[in-house]
Amino acid sequence: MKIARIAVNYPLKNSGLHYYYEGSLSRGQVVDVPLGKRSELGCVLSTDESTTAVEKETPLDKIKKINSLLPDWILDEEELKLFEWMSQYYHYPLGQLIFDSLPHHLKRPRDLHQIEGKKGEPEFSPNVHQKQIIESIEKDLNHFQRHLIHGVTGSGKTTVYLELIKKTIAKGNSVLFLLPEINLTPQFISTFEKYLDVPILSYHSELSDSQKYQIWMTARKMDKAAFILGVRSSIFIPISNLGLIIIDEEHDTSFKQDDRCPYNARDVASKKAQLLGIPIVMGSATPSLESYYTFHQLASHLHEMKERAGNAFLPEIKLIDAREKSEKEDDIWPLVPQSLEAIKEAFLKNEQVLVFVNRLGFANFLQCRSCGHQFHCPNCSITLRYYKKKNHLACHHCEYKEPLPGQCPSCGCLTLNQKGFGTEKVQEVLERVFPLKKIERFDRDEIKNFKQLEVRLSDFHQGKIDLMVGTQMLSKGHNFEKVKLVLVLGIDSQLNFPDFRSSERVYQTLTQVAGRAGRYSQDGKVFIQTLNPESSLFQIIKNHDFHRFYEDELEIRKICECPPFKRLAMLHFSSRFQDRLISHVTSKVSSLIRSLIQHHFKEVTILGPRPAHIEKKSNQFTWSILLKSSDLGQLHNLLKSFEMNYQSESSISHKIDIDPYTLI
């Protein structure tokens, strides 16, 4: 009998377990193996291992035999290499990573509904500037190269993408297009299906297991060009003849996975392109600081599109000082008269309006007027949010809900003040002020699937809705012809958020939101209601001065030793027992890391441990340690040594987050 090394779907620190097998077995094959008293899936890493080498790790009599092979289920070399790289880079167990990322294996999957492109001729052709960009990227269509298109909203990035896609398809190769948001899928499909004449596959979380599995198998066996469009996880689809990867809105936080392996699909895509020897094109109106910085040093691969294409214009941005407000305006809070006036004017001109609010619900929290009592989630260290229509208080981190209390539980006072606001509150105020207008919401509470999305968007396009109050969901990608006014509320809370990326996030959000206004006319306007009108960030946004934003922000990042100048890693430790967690992290963990730094990794600095911004979530307490270094190699080696020397405790779990998006 021969021995194979297999990455088993289990949180193991090392790279694989040994198993006996008979007959032939190849690297990449998926097998079923015994693990303790149960069985698990595994992926073969190597076969025919030398007995003497294996013996050093595992006594031969402890090695078990594999149960069975899963027919048809084999990963190719590039897929495995990508997973191996990810496992090393993100310090995440290989077997677990592979089986987290693959769709569930099905014996009898149903047929897949496939869209065929209609091969229409575009009614627009690239302008001179777009042509230059297409030509310069086209030179790299045969090998690995990275390009970034930094184009203001409405500058016509899609036109550039479309030409590059057509050129790749003409060579017989497939294209993978990554989207930041599942809700944009229908819109992009309808754009691309008009002009392409290849099968189009879309991959997202609304698909069933059977559909996902079918896409996987179809893409793997594809013998002609296809266009595959999907969200983050589609980066793992094995596409047999892939020739180009495009990532739209590369800065978007949705490319970063939070749970399980915290990978960034943009960075994984870049590695995938490198492994396959194909180009990757990223696009954004507001590139991440990291990408902007990297591509400035690779100037010939940075393509700037500073003007809106065709007859489109950039909107005028106006700051509304929300501090000046008199008492009689209380019934219109959180809006101010100037904002209502602007909406009224837009309605008089038969225009539609968008109002952007960054929070859901009616009030952020309730507070007793006499004793100040607040309602906290029993499972999380945060206050409950008030939802008026549902008449309850709910936690936005766990499933906890409770009916709206009639009085304060600690003093019996009947007056509970509402603090803060969300989309529901803004909708109610606007409905009261404009009773004859149809005012709807566009947020996660109201729109839960493609059908609802389609109905709401089509109602808006047909003019059945006059104004939409929406969250982030509204800010991304959608184009509305009859909208000239966009009003932004509640952005201050985002600006004051204690995180190194908060300015970047506000800049990105506002630029995206502004991108919804007046694309089709000369008098588009964005009104930002704020308590900090003097903030230099707002002044920069007002002037559409993105270079100034990047320069200022890079200065700050340099001073605070944040990316792109330093690389970061966060270590999170969680437990149901707060005291055990604190003593474990502050003594054992902290001293292990400090001693490793002192003896071997002097280029790394440690900050913390400290409690997470929300210390308790769903009854789990979390404490974190931040590591910074300008030497990425040292940072990774420190983490590797830590993993080797760390003795975990049964009630405490830990997680490593490389290149974290946020430090809280």
Q: Which is nearer to Zn ion, 132 or 407 (CB)?
A: 407
389, 424 contact by CB (below 8 A): yes
In angstroms, give the least distance from the CB of 613 to Zn ion. Answer: 14
In angstroms, give the least distance from the CB of 380 to Zn ion. Answer: 3
226 belongs to the binding site for Zn ion (CB under 5 A): no
Q: Which is nearer to Zn ion, 27 or 373 (CB)?
A: 373
Q: Which is nearer to Zn ion, 295 or 375 (CB)?
A: 375
Determine the Cα–Cα distance for residues 224 and 198; give it in Å rounded to an integer: 8
- Rg of the chain over all Cα atoms, to the nearest angstrom: 27
Q: Which is nearer to Zn ion, 120 or 372 (CB)?
A: 372
* Closest C-alpha to 314, from 599, 578, 543, 73: 543
DSSP per-residue string spanning 507-528: HHHHHHHHTTS-TTSTT-EEEE
In angstroms, give the least distance from the CB of 368 to Zn ion. Answer: 3
The whole-angstrom distance between residue 75's C-alpha and the CA centroid of its chain comes to 26
In angstroms, give the least distance from the CB of 82 to Zn ion. Answer: 36
Give the x/- contact pattern for Zn ion in 317-356, rule: CB under 5 A.
----------------------------------------
In angstroms, give the least distance from the CB of 401 to Zn ion. Answer: 10
Q: 371-400: which residues touch Zn ion (CB under 5 A)?
A: 371, 373, 377, 379-380, 395, 397-398, 400
416 belongs to the binding site for Zn ion (CB under 5 A): no
Helix locations, 330-487, DSSP H:
337-348, 423-433, 450-461, 472-475
In angstroms, give the least distance from the CB of 359 to Zn ion. Answer: 16
Phi, psi values for residue 136, rounded to 5° = -75, -30
In angstroms, give the least distance from the CB of 399 to Zn ion. Answer: 8
* Closest C-alpha to 552, from 605, 507, 499, 601: 507
540, 503 contact by CB (below 8 A): no
Q: Which is nearer to Zn ion, 277 or 378 (CB)?
A: 378
In angstroms, give the least distance from the CB of 235 to Zn ion. Answer: 31
Q: 354-373: which residues touch Zn ion (CB under 5 A)?
A: 368, 371, 373
In angstroms, give the least distance from the CB of 620 to Zn ion. Answer: 11
Q: Which is nearer to Zn ion, 516 or 617 (CB)?
A: 617
In angstroms, give the least distance from the CB of 365 to Zn ion. Answer: 13
Q: Which is nearer to Zn ion, 61 or 399 (CB)?
A: 399
* Closest C-alpha to 101, from 83, 77, 74: 83
Between the alpha carbon of residue 359 and those of residues 130, 334, 447, 458, 481, the distances in Å are: 37, 13, 15, 24, 25
Q: Which is nearer to Zn ion, 25 or 368 (CB)?
A: 368
- Is cis: bond before 11, omega within 30 of 0? no
Q: How many amino acids of this chain bind Zn ion (CB under 5 A)?
A: 14
Q: Which is nearer to Zn ion, 164 or 395 (CB)?
A: 395
Determine the Cα–Cα distance for residues 35 and 647; give it in Å rounded to an integer: 22
**Partners of 590 in beta bridges:** none
Q: Which residues contact 504 (CB under 8 A, 6 or more apart)?
A: 288, 289, 553
Helix (H, G, I), strand (E, B) or coil at 36: coil
* Closest C-alpha to 428, from 437, 418, 436, 439: 439
Cα atoms found within 13 Å of the Cα of residue 427, Cβ hemisphere only:
24
Q: Which is nearer to Zn ion, 26 or 619 (CB)?
A: 619
In angstroms, give the least distance from the CB of 433 to Zn ion. Answer: 32
Q: 120-139: which residues touch Zn ion (CB under 5 A)?
A: none
Q: Which residues contact 559 (CB under 8 A, 6 or more apart)?
A: none
Number of CB atoms found within 10 A of residue 532's CB = 16
Q: Which is nearer to Zn ion, 373 or 392 (CB)?
A: 373
Figure out which of the listed residues 408, 487, 510, 625 binds Zn ion, where binding follows CB under 5 A. Answer: 408
411 belongs to the binding site for Zn ion (CB under 5 A): yes
In angstroms, give the least distance from the CB of 378 to Zn ion. Answer: 7
Helix (H, G, I), strand (E, B) or coil at 8: strand
**Partners of 402 in beta bridges:** 393
Q: Which is nearer to Zn ion, 368 or 495 (CB)?
A: 368
Tokens 């289990």 — which residue?
Answer: 10
Q: Which residues lie near Zn ion (CB under 5 A)?
A: 368, 371, 373, 377, 379-380, 395, 397-398, 400, 408, 410-411, 413
